[in-house]
Structure 1
Amino acid sequence: MAESRVYGFAFLVTLMLGAVDCLGQFSDTVNYYINFASTGNINKTNDGTSYLLNNNLRYSISKKSISLNTTNSWMYGKQLGNLTNNDFFSGLDFNLYKTLYNFYYWGLGSYEKSVSLKINHRLQTGAGIGYNLVNRKNALVILSDGILYEKGDLYDGPETGNNEYEIFRNSFRLKFRFIIRGIVVIEGSDFLQHALSDRKDYIIKSNTSLSVKLKKWLSLTSAVVYNKLIATGRENLLVTYGITIERYF
């Protein structure tokens, strides 16, 4: 019952918030952006059924000099009756653009739990600097780097025992977005996060999507998500397809 309340609350937060960095330049007028993507796949045979659902909601509030963004995702899947994914992520970040040309400061906080990666919970907070390598209307490439504080609790194992820990990590990110003929959108965000105390302890996060616009606010979307966590020896690769609804206002 308690877990149901937690997921019910998480789902409500997801509906209310969600997020992504707003792209491009903004005037002094406040701009808002909302994006909801629902993708998944189902496979049914005589031997059983497997399915995976991936829902993402993103929301941004932006001005020329600052942006505030949230992102929330929930993946749920079963294979032959066994739970494979019940993975939730919620993050809040801000970007401050009052700095050198094409540079900006960023800060973030995030919470995550994952059945597939064996994470009971993981909290990350940090700050750093970013650089707009390419910043055009139809093309954006961003590099960023910073330091994160991480507090986590991984699934306990017979050899490792209690897996609660605290650590600092370097977080490097590559983010990109390309729009082709105003119809095809390719975008992604890739993270490499090494522990400062042990270079062999690292996290990889990668999320890339290809969308084809049917209308200004509606797209068909295919997404590839990859995660790897050295601490648990777990990784997942998800390929899904579905729809994306977005709006600027």
Structure 2
Amino acid sequence: MQKIVAGLVLWMGSLPAFSQFNDTTHHYLNYVSTGTINKTNEGSSYVLNNALRFSISKREYTFNTTNSWIYGKSLSNLSNNDFFSALDGNLYKTLEHFYYWGLASYEKSFSLKINHRLQAGVGVGYSVFDVEKLRVVLSDGILYERSDLYDLPEEGTNRYDVFRNSFRLKFRAVIREVIVIEGTDFLQHALSDRKDYIVKSSTSLSIKLKKGLSVTGSIVYNKLSKTRRENLLVTYGLTYEKYF
């Protein structure tokens, strides 16, 4: 066991450095494909999680677009058909470590019983740590939301507009330029009803195999109090990324 651990340490230390944003590199492309498959005598189940992210980073601003699709079946019954797309940007013309952000997103989810949900808002953020190998960011702001949820027999049609407070924790840690741990966590309470809230959490661990390619494990958790639905996905697969 000691020889194996020592070999892994030497291997990690021998790998070359990987690209990051710099004065000439302003674009970033990231594609993640993960999933799980389970087959027994009684039947089979599977979940596939695909996500595509593109970023433009300059000294004064950043622009990001994120798209994800989760699809799954359990014993031939649909369990997930969840789509999420978002555009967001940060403006850094403010005090050191502070920035302004704007967001617009669209979501539909079979597992959370969301027909359609649109969100748009603005706020401020603060970089608690902002060095090459460790970034921790806190942000808060106000979102306007228009939702069309699956109809609930006891409540009737569930279409409504609401303003929410959106708090976010975002982090990224790089260990020896080989292991990357990153995640984003949201808590969004309705301003008019504290019992109406949304929880989103996504955390991943990636180990770089070679430049641009990593093996990745991820945990995704979502909860929507309005429909009393939640999901938890633990998946593994591959990540491709490119700085240019």
| TM-score, scaled to structure 1 | 0.89
Deviation at 1:62, TM superposition (A): 1.5
Measure, in 1, the Cα distance between the counterparts of 2:110 and 2:154.
19
Aligned 8 A contact 2:166 2:189 in 1: yes
Query: Which residue in 1 is equivalent to 2:178?
Result: 183
Measure, in 2, the Cα distance between the counterparts of 1:216 and 1:167.
44
Measure, in 2, the Cα distance between the counterparts of 1:207 and 1:192.
12
Q: Are 1:151 and 2:151 matched, yes or no?
A: no
Aligned 8 A contact 2:25 2:243 in 1: no
- Secondary structure in structure 2 of the residue aligned to 1:120: strand
Q: Point out the structure with max Rg over C-alpha.
A: 2
Give the root-mean-square deviation of aligned CA atoms. Answer: 1.1
Aligned residue identity for 1:65: E
Q: Are 1:119 and 2:150 matched, yes or no?
A: no
Q: Are 1:78 and 2:87 matched, yes or no?
A: no
Percent of residue pairs identical: 68
Q: Are 1:65 and 2:60 matched, yes or no?
A: yes
Deviation at 1:124, TM superposition (A): 0.1
Q: Are 1:213 and 2:200 matched, yes or no?
A: no
> Which aligned runs of 4 or more in structure 1 are off by greater than 2 angstroms?
24-27
Deviation at 1:44, TM superposition (A): 0.8
Aligned residue identity for 1:174: L
Query: Which residue in 2 is equivalent to 1:235?
Result: 230
Classify 1:31/1:115 alpha carbon distance in 2 versus 1 (closer, same or farther; 3 Å): same
- Which of these residues, 35, 38, 51, is aligned with residue 46 of structure 2? 51
Classify 1:49/1:25 alpha carbon distance in 2 versus 1 (closer, same or farther; 3 Å): closer
- Secondary structure in structure 1 of the residue aligned to 2:210: coil
Query: Which consecutive unaligned segments of at least 5 residues does structure 2 have?
Result: 1-19
Aligned residue identity for 2:78: L
Measure, in 1, the Cα distance between the counterparts of 2:56 and 2:181.
22
Measure, in 1, the Cα distance between the counterparts of 2:22 and 2:97.
14
Aligned 8 A contact 1:204 1:228 in 2: yes
| TM-score, scaled to structure 2 | 0.91
Query: Which consecutive unaligned segments of at least 5 residues does structure 1 have?
Result: 1-23
Query: Which residue in 2 is equivalent to 1:20?
Result: none
